[in-house]
Amino acid sequence: MRAWGRTKLGAGKQAVPLNVIDMNLAISAVSVALALAMGLILLVILGRINRSEKRWKGKAKDLDRQIGQYDGVFGAYPGLVLVWDEATVGRETDFGQPRVFGSPAALASMMRMSEPGGFGDTAMRVLSGLADLDLITDDPKRPTLRTLLGALRNEGEPFSTTILLPEGNIIEADGRVAGAQVVLWLQDASIRGEDERKAISRFETSRTMAEAEPVAFVEMMSRAPHPVWRLSSMRRINWANSAYIDAVGGRGLDDVLHRQLHLDATTQSEAMSVLETGSPKASVRPIVTASGKRMAMQIDLFPVSGGVAGMAMDASEAESLRQTLDRHVAAHDAWLGKTSEAVISFAPDQTLRSFNEAFTTLFKLDPVWLQTSPSHASLLDRLRETDQLPPQSDYRAWKKSELGLYTNWPTEVPEETWNLPNGNLYRVVRLRDAEGGISLMFSDMTDKMTLKSQLGTLINVQRATLDKLTEGIAVFSTDGRLRLHNSAFADLWHLEEDMLQDNPRFSDIIDLCFPLHHNAEFWDNLKARATDPNPEIRRHVDGEIITSDERILCWLSRPLPDGATLIAWDDVTASRKTERALVERAEALEEADRMKSEFVAHVSYQLRTPLTTIAGYSDFLQNGGAGELSDKQSEYVFAIQSASEDLAKAIDDILDIAAIEADKLDLELGDVDIFDLLDHSLDYVATKADDTRITLDLQCDTDIGIVRADETRMKQVVYNLLTNALRFTKPGGLIELGAERSAGGGVKIWVRDTGVGIPLEKQSAVFESFESSRGGVGLGLTLVQRIIDRHGGWVELDSVEDQGTHVTCYLPREANTEAAHPELFAVVES
């Protein structure tokens, strides 16, 4: 048995067992132990917290010291540094809230271009002032700091650029991404190495002057008669001319800048659009000026360095243009009233809109009824009642199709011809306007058809006339079909009339005629002249062919005004036999002329020796070899010298002509400068012209170039032409020597005088030997013609008696090589 302890109890109290007391004591001991343990733990934790706090306070002091050092570095940097921490970027025009670092001098430098404002928006003011200034760049897109900064903040595209300030200074700008931040470095090159106080003072002075007088605009646009103004990047007006001040009712420029008076509210929103897009914007709208005048104005806004410029022009001229348009419409209506064509117009609802007097006259309608604007259907019914419509087997169906054009207009509406019961013939043209209305134009073709009938009669008369001709005539239309021919044409080519019916094509005619002339190339060329629209191909040409039956046919091709081609044929076989007999006779005469030329040449050679003696002694006497001569004697000797020179020249001409006719005159070909040739020749004869008081004129470009010719012979040609002109031009007259390039690279040389001219009946013989219209040997023009012909060219003469003569020589670019020395070309070929 367990023993229980004893205890003394008071009266009335119950005794407590001993085991209960022991349990309470154990619980109290455990609680005290736990409390002591928790206290020890708290003491340890508090010790650790104190040590950590001391360590972090040390680190915070180190960081504050580093930040102070970094601030000192940024303060010493001669520029501004803007740092963005925002993760979200707004519009391009929203510059956000960057932090600003840098020196005071740099801040003062950047604030020169900024707008007035508080200190809290310093970054916005600096960026707004620089964002739209010009950059020094070769980029054709002409970016601005605004666009570059937007690309940096949105796409992380770095940049380095140079901003050009209005006064000519520059600011270097560099944008980079630094981790999660965006950094913009701005540095004014003009403050490097300068004391900050001096730089700040200088910037404040220049800013005050710039705000007092914006020279760039005052000098240029202050007196413009129309409003001109300028807005900053913040869309604030910073300059305006007097016209703008008057338009907005300002008391002066300061009042406009202070109150920010705009033409209207739309101007500011349009300015923002110009800044965002960088593109000009133009609009026309009514503006009420300060004087109460309402006027249409064209407002142009365009980007400039640092902002937006605006111009407002009076667009009231549009009203004038509208009035001008009304006058044109009235003039058009007047023209409709005067034209002989009958015109009527219907509105889209098929009611009559307008008509002219010719319409009422043509259809004999009452104008009063037409002015009631009847419908198109009513007009058709009225015309049917008066027999002024073409007969229709089903009038209702025809009328329905006519009115159906208002709703179903075909792609093409061909012209129609109305053949009326009274015999009249009308051409009808229908037109549809942009509104859906239809206009009809009627032309009275009755007289025209009568004339056409008369023309047919005339053609029949012409055909009968052509049949009486002995020459074969064929007319081909532009499509190559035979339009007209006579019986002689069929007889020449042995054709039956039924072969030429139904207007056969030219190729079919060739097949029929080919057995009599087997030359395909000839027929192809002739066909081209009849069918090719090229005027160079269809020019006037003629020729001669020999048929297989030994007939000689002459032909000619002539283009007609209407585009057709006439080809004529003539059998000249008999005449050619006669010509052959004449040619033989001419050859005999030519042989006689050759013998005459040889005789003349022989005599000329015999005359040269005594002529040389005469010339020599006359020169000897003239030069004082036999003593000094008196004036009279000197005059006689001079006459002898002149006669000797003329005779010597005549002999030389005779010998040259004889050599040419004998085909013994070879050309000394070389490069001949045309201008030098003419200039020297003119100088050579200038003395004689001065003696006779005749004006010489040279018409030739200095750069006309060269030709391949015999320079000596060409000088002889020009000299002969000039001496002829001098001989037959009276004192006070004019002689013109000129040259120009001709087709094919050749040269055209001419001499024109105002002399006595050549009679018409003698012009045909001037190029023959020993023929002169007014005295002289008669060899000058003959030799000219022979020498030019020797070069492969030709000579033309145009002369009017008592008015003057015009001689033109045509030279090819290269002379005829057959007339040159053969040994020269043998060397070239080798």
DSSP code string of 221-279: HTT-SS-EEEEETTS-EEEE-HHHHHHHT-SSHHHHHHHT--S-HHHHHHHHHHHHH--
User: Of 410, 444, 478, which marks where a domain is finished?
Assistant: 444
569 vs 7, which has greater pLDDT? 569
**Do 679 and 820 fall into the same domain?**
yes
CB atoms within 10 A of CB 462: 12
pLDDT grade, residue 821 (50/70/90)? low
Tell me what pLDDT residue 326 has. 77
Order of strands across the sheet that contains 159-164: 99-102, 79-84, 181-188, 170-178, 159-164
CB-facing half-sphere around the CA of 560: CA atoms within 13 A? 16
DSSP letter assigned to residue 761: G
CA distance 238 to 231: 6
CA distance 161 to 488: 92
Query: SS3 for 474?
Result: strand
Q: In which domain, by residue range, is 54 found?
A: 14-76
**Has residue 808 got a pLDDT over 90?**
yes
**Has residue 84 got a pLDDT over 80?**
yes
**Do 468 and 564 fall into the same domain?**
yes
Tell me what pLDDT residue 806 has. 92
Identity of residue 390: P
Positive or negative, the CA dihedral 376, 379, 385, 390 is negative
**Has residue 76 got a pLDDT over 70?**
no
Query: SS3 for 385?
Result: helix
CB-facing half-sphere around the CA of 672: CA atoms within 13 A? 26
Sequence-separated (6 or more) residues with CB below 8 Å from residue 329: none
Query: SS3 for 340?
Result: coil
**Do 88 and 173 fall into the same domain?**
yes
Give the mean pLDDT of 111-136.
71
Out of 99-103, 253-257, 563-567, 731-735, pick the least confident.
Answer: 99-103
Give me the chain's average pLDDT, please: 78
CB atoms within 10 A of CB 372: 10
Is 632 part of a structural domain of the chain? no
Instruction: Give the chain's domain count.
Output: 6
**Do 220 and 346 fall into the same domain?**
no
Query: SS3 for 663?
Result: coil
Sequence-separated (6 or more) residues with CB below 8 Å from residue 28: none
Range picked from 611-625, 655-669, 800-814 for highest mean pLDDT? 800-814
Give the mean pLDDT of 764-768.
76
**Do 359 and 432 fall into the same domain?**
yes
DSSP letter assigned to residue 630: P
CA distance 330 to 618: 92
Cβ distance 550 to 571 under 8 Å? no
Identity of residue 702: T
By the 10 Å C-beta count (0-12 exposed, 13-18 middle, 19+ buried), 512 is classed as middle
**Do 65 and 84 fall into the same domain?**
no
**Do 249 and 140 fall into the same domain?**
no
Closest listed residue to residue 567, CA positions, set 458, 482, 460: 482
User: Of 519, 547, 571, which marks where a domain is finished?
Assistant: 571
365 vs 643, which has greater pLDDT? 365
pLDDT grade, residue 325 (50/70/90)? confident
Tell me what pLDDT residue 736 has. 93
The first and second tokens of residue 703, run together, are 């750069």
Give the mean pLDDT of 272-297.
83
pLDDT in tens, 481-498: 888 888 888 888 888 888
**Do 92 and 170 fall into the same domain?**
yes
Q: What share of the chain is helix, strand, coil (3-state, %, to 5)?
A: 50, 20, 30
pLDDT grade, residue 234 (50/70/90)? confident
771 vs 357, which has greater pLDDT? 357
| CATH number of the domain where residue 526 is located | 3.30.450.20
**Residue environment code for 219-235, b if the CB has 16+ CB neighbours within 10 A, otherwise e:** eebeeeeebbbbbbbbb
Is 807 part of a structural domain of the chain? yes
Tell me what pLDDT residue 739 has. 92
| CATH number of the domain where residue 156 is located | 3.30.450
Tell me what pLDDT residue 825 has. 41
Tell me what pLDDT residue 737 has. 92
3-state SS record for 38-101:
HHHHHHHHHHHHHHHHHHHHHHHHHHHHHHHHHHHHHHHCCEEEEEECCCCCCCCCCCCCCEEE
Instruction: Please give the sequence-ordered ranges of beta strands (E in DSSP) within 688-816, or none if there are none.
Output: 695-699, 706-710, 734-741, 747-753, 794-800, 804-811
| CATH number of the domain where residue 702 is located | 3.30.565.10
**Do 817 and 744 fall into the same domain?**
yes
Give the mean pLDDT of 57-77.
67
The distance from CA 43 to its chain's CA centroid, rounded to whole angstroms, is 99
Judge if pTM exceeds 0.85: no
The first and second tokens of residue 398, run together, are 């025809």
**Do 226 and 136 fall into the same domain?**
no
Is 226 part of a structural domain of the chain? yes
Is 602 part of a structural domain of the chain? no
CA distance 396 to 788: 83
The first and second tokens of residue 764, run together, are 């045909």
CB-facing half-sphere around the CA of 686: CA atoms within 13 A? 9
Is 37 part of a structural domain of the chain? yes
The first and second tokens of residue 462, run together, are 């012409």
Beta bridge partners of 83: 99, 183
Q: How open is the CA angle 446-447-448, to the nearest 5 degrees?
A: 90
**Has residue 517 got a pLDDT over 90?**
no
Helix axes 573-622, 631-661, angle to 10 degrees: 150
Out of 363-372, 450-459, 553-562, 791-800, pick the least confident.
Answer: 450-459
Cβ distance 263 to 295 under 8 Å? no
Cβ distance 811 to 710 under 8 Å? no
Is 9 part of a structural domain of the chain? no
Range picked from 125-134, 476-485, 533-542 for highest mean pLDDT? 476-485
**Has residue 499 got a pLDDT over 90?**
no
> What CA–CA distances, in Å, run from 27 to 31, 34, 553?
6, 11, 159
Beta bridge partners of 699: 738
Question: pLDDT exceeding 90 applies to what percent of the chain?
Answer: 5
Tell me what pLDDT residue 8 has. 40
Is 765 part of a structural domain of the chain? yes
End-to-end CA distance of the chain: 164
**Do 255 and 302 fall into the same domain?**
yes
Q: What is the torsion angle, in degrees rounded to the nearest 10, for the CA atoms of residue 332, residue 334, residue 338 and residue 344?
A: 70
**Do 703 and 808 fall into the same domain?**
yes
Is 566 part of a structural domain of the chain? yes
Return the residue matching tokens 């705000």: 211
pLDDT grade, residue 751 (50/70/90)? very high
CA distance 44 to 54: 16
DSSP letter assigned to residue 190: G
User: Of 149, 182, 204, which marks where a domain is finished?
Assistant: 204
pLDDT grade, residue 7 (50/70/90)? very low
Query: SS3 for 740?
Result: strand
